[in-house]
Amino acid sequence: MNDNFLKACRGEKVDYTPVWLMRQAGRYMKEYQEVRSKVDFLTLCKTPELAAKVTLQPIDVLGVDAAILFSDILIPVEAMGMHLEFSEKKGPILSEPVRNKSGVDKLVIPDTEDSMPFVLETIRILRQELENRVPLIGFSGAPFTLATYIIEGGSSKNFVNTKKMMYQNPGLFNALMEKITSTVIEYLSSQIKAGAQAVQIFDSWAGILSPFDYEKVIFPYVKNAIKSLKKFDVPVIYFVNNCSGLLETVKKSGADVIGIDWRVDMEKAVKRLGKKVSVQGNLDPCVLFGPKEHIEERVQDILNKAFTARGHIFNLGHGVLPETPVENAVAMVEAVHKLSKE
């Protein structure tokens, strides 16, 4: 098996810098669109054979060094007892957002095998399909990121309801965070037991917080989740979007790998994080709209700047955008492999 990704996570010597892309299975690929045209998004997530099929597509098309389970971060939130639907225009919608004690009390900590067996079955299928190829990454949203969706009822621009609960009713907010954290731990533990060889925790919205609020209010839950997962011998990746102001705290999370978004200079990020963690990232997803020569130039720049890190996994600084030309994503992967070998 090509294990360069796992070696880089652990800071071991690699043959070349491994690369995978957040949202590497998705709307920018015609192969994905063909599958998606026949089913709605949630059905795709909940049908193991189809979810496995679209997970594998980028391995064949792009030549990346790791597969990431095709699912959605809100799957465990639905299992906690919330009604979830996806709108083509508005994105995820959680009816009856949780903003009071009775709402928090109604939420359950789900058993993954009972309430989300399709996720575990997808992982089992993928481990068979990926044997002797590349490792499989499982994932979950981070406790705070999931809390924002639960409280806001979907996406938000200013997260007023989330911050109001944090400031006005910290006891209720902490009770919610404890339930979500227990859910994340159970969910990721089950994914690992089913065969995930690494897991990533997505903190997509942690960057909306001040460094003070992140460290004092949110970070203990992340740290607890990661500590609970350390009993498994698999790398844990922690990705914080818009992490520039938080890196000194993030590096104390206990994660093996810290994902870096594109708003931070990689060389400075490596210096701030130190030698105890590997790094992942951090090409601006919009660079993939440029000419191939420009893509290669930017790849080289990031490879140079991450060279002193304990380990480096090349990735985008956020997910692949739907309009991205597939041939440019392929060119980026090829550039990472070629230039890092040199």
Residues involved in catalysis: 23, 27, 36, 72, 149
Residues 288, 335 contacting (CB under 8 angstroms)? no
Tell me if 187 sits within 8 A of 76, measured CB to CB.
yes
Closest CA to 154 of 86, 206, 208: 86
Residues 6+ apart with CB under 8 A from 84: 42, 74, 77, 78, 92, 93, 94
Q: What is the DSSP letter of 19?
A: B
Cα separations (Å) of 159 from 92, 150, 151, 163?
15, 11, 9, 6
Task: State the amino acid at position 50 in one-letter form.
Answer: L
Asked if residues 52 and 125 have their Cβ atoms less than 8 Å apart, the reply is yes
Only one residue has tokens 């090349």, namely 314
CB–CB of 212/233 below 8 Å?
no
Pairing state between β 91-95 and 136-141: unpaired
User: Which backbone phi and psi does 37 adopt, to 5 degrees?
Assistant: -65, -15
**DSSP-based three-state secondary structure for 202:** strand
